[in-house]
Structure 1
Amino acid sequence: MVNVGGSVSEVGPSGRPPSSQELYAAGRVIGYKCFDQNYDFMKCKAKDDNPTACVSEGDAVHGCVYGLFKQISSTTKKEFDALAKCLDNEDLQPHMCKAKPAEPPSPSTVAGRHAPPPRPLAVSQAV
């Protein structure tokens, strides 16, 4: 979570809006979980240019997104905050924040034992 004025405030309708790095971190999940609400909002906006015509659809989008942030905060807060911090430090470049794969096992160890040294390859004669 973002430090606002010396204290950490939760994302929510009565709290604070999500920061850009938090939106980037949750973007795929928001797109998947809130698809229907976003779709209804975009359909409404395409039909009517009046800014107040789609308030209820916009509220549904906000409710979905804020509900998702509440769920993230209660289930994976530590991991989410680490990803958001990395995105902030890496100029919102998600590929810079992907987990690095584990080191492959050393060829000299097999199942915790040392493997025999490799035998030299036989040199074949050129024809």
Structure 2
Amino acid sequence: MARVPYSHELYALSRHIVFRREKEHNDAKNCKEKHDWPEDCRPESEALIRGVNQLYLDAMAAAPEEFKEFATCLDHYGLRFARCRDKQKAFEKAFPLVEGQPPKQ
């Protein structure tokens, strides 16, 4: 089993989480808007966590260097996306936001 992603790696995946795990993301978000007690949303949260962990593995398999460079850049610059746009572009070219979408040329 792979390790749990670090925070800067999750930031690097944030746009992918919204696009590629839209259903799980929306289910967890909507549940938390309706319930004050976190345990009430456990199934939705666990589904999102499983999806994000799989997304991390997919990114590491499809574009390991681009992903590492983008995540490392975010970590170095205090999670400021503006400083890492070139790395983000390279990562999203190698690992498109929409599953099955051909990489941009």
TM-score (norm 1): 0.61
* Corresponding residue for residue 50 of structure 1: 37
* Corresponding residue for residue 30 of structure 1: 17
Paired with 2:24 and 2:40, the residues of 1 have a C-alpha distance of: 15
Structure number with greater CO (CA < 8 Å, separation at least 6) is 2
Q: Tell me, which stretches of 5 or more residues in structure 2 are unaligned?
A: 88-105
Q: Tell me, which stretches of 5 or more residues in structure 1 are unaligned?
A: 1-13, 101-127
Bigger shift: 56-65 or 41-50? 41-50
Confirm or deny that 1:83 pairs with 2:70.
yes
Shift of 1:50: 2.7
- Residue 59 and residue 97 in structure 1: after superposition, are their counterparts in 2 closer, same or farther (change >3 A)? same
TM-score (norm 2): 0.72
Bigger Cα Rg: 1
RMSD: 1.8
Q: Which has the higher helix share?
A: 2
Paired with 2:36 and 2:85, the residues of 1 have a C-alpha distance of: 40
Taking only the aligned residue pairs, the percentage that are identical comes to 33
